[in-house]
Amino acid sequence: MSRGLVPGWSGFAWHRVGAVCLRHLYVMRSSPIRLLEMAYWPTVQMVMWGFISQFFTTQSSWLVQAAGALLAAVLLWDVLFRANLGLSLSFMEEMWARNLGHLFVSPLRPYEFIVALITMSAIRTTIGLLPAALLAIPLFHYNIFAMGLPLVGFFLLLLITGWSVGLGVSALVLRFGLGAESLAWVLIFALAPLSGIYYPISTLPGWLQTVAWWLPSSHVFEGMRVVLTTGTFDWSLWWTALVLDLGYLSLLGGLFLYTFRVARRRGLLLNVGE
């Protein structure tokens, strides 16, 4: 399955996607510090929130009922954060290396490049979060994997949200240069207060709730609380998040491809920098 099976994707080849992924895996292999860094922040976050959570459970009956809600929220928020960062960093790596010119005089298609960035984001996110999730088991007797299939569903949805944001950030960096690179770290935090990571969406003022429900992440965190408090999986939340996710991914993937064409018109693939 390598050629032209998706309409408009004629000539799509997995070997080129694999080549771009290999390039980033080589970078990761060459720097154990980077691997450590990937796992470092999620782990620190998890430890800090683990202790806060332990303290709160002695103070709040709601939190006793929803034991693990804070830790699950911390870990799932990091899925979203890492998915965005994993994609943006892989893209910016090419700009830092001034390698875009070489890549795009090869037969690599822009959409193959996007698939490679998405793949690398999934790999980076898994490497970053797995140690934190595993460490939570002995430290706080909290096993996020006990959530079972719902966890897989939430993980997937948050990955897609992160990819969408990452594609938007990459489009902006491609258009405005590496001076805009801090957006990779900053922009995602605009979603945090609206996503209801640590509190229900009903906490927000009415008008802001309307805005929040347009975010896939709000449905995911709401769905997570439903699982943790009632043990049931709310499919309507999951499906709504999926539809929103696919909409944003198409929109921001389209923005990236459009910006790529603008970059070709303005000569930005050769003159990358600040």
Partner 1 sequence: MMPDECPPAIRVHNLTKIYSLTPVVDGLSFEVPQGSITALLGGNGAGKTTTIAMLLGLLLPTSGQVALLGHDMATDRYGALAQVNFSSPYVDLPGRLTVRENLTIYARLYGLPRPAERIAEMVEDLELGAFVTRRTSRLSAGQKTRVALAKALINRPRLLILDEPTASLDPDSGDWIRGYLSRYAAETGATLFLASHNMAEVERLCSQVLMMRQGRIFDRGSVSELTERYGRTNLEDVFLDIARGQEKGGPAQ
Residues of this chain that bind partner 1 (CB under 8 A): 11, 13, 15-16, 18-20, 22-23, 26-27, 30-31, 93-94, 97-109, 261, 264-265, 267, 269-270
CA dihedral 119, 125, 131, 137 (to 10 degrees): -110
CB-nearer residue toward partner 1: 109 or 225: 109
Report the nearest approach of partner 1 to the CB of residue 92 (Å): 12
Residue for token digits 């609380």? 225
Residue type, 181: E
Q: For 130, what's the count of Cα atoms within 13 Å in the CB-facing half-sphere?
A: 8
Report the nearest approach of partner 1 to the CB of residue 162 (Å): 24
CB-nearer residue toward partner 1: 108 or 156: 108
Closest CA to 177 of 236, 91, 257, 115: 91
CB-nearer residue toward partner 1: 90 or 217: 90
CB-nearer residue toward partner 1: 2 or 203: 2
* 4: CB partners within 8 A, 6+ apart: 10, 11, 12
Closest CA to 50 of 154, 132, 122: 132
Residue type, 111: Y
Report the nearest approach of partner 1 to the CB of residue 27 (Å): 5
Report the nearest approach of partner 1 to the CB of residue 83 (Å): 23
**Distance between CA atoms of 34 and 70, rounded to whole angstroms?**
27
CB atoms within 10 A of CB 151: 19
Report the nearest approach of partner 1 to the CB of residue 109 (Å): 7
| Signed CA dihedral, 51, 57, 63, 68: sign only | positive
CB-nearer residue toward partner 1: 207 or 265: 265
CB-nearer residue toward partner 1: 108 or 139: 108
Report the nearest approach of partner 1 to the CB of residue 103 (Å): 7
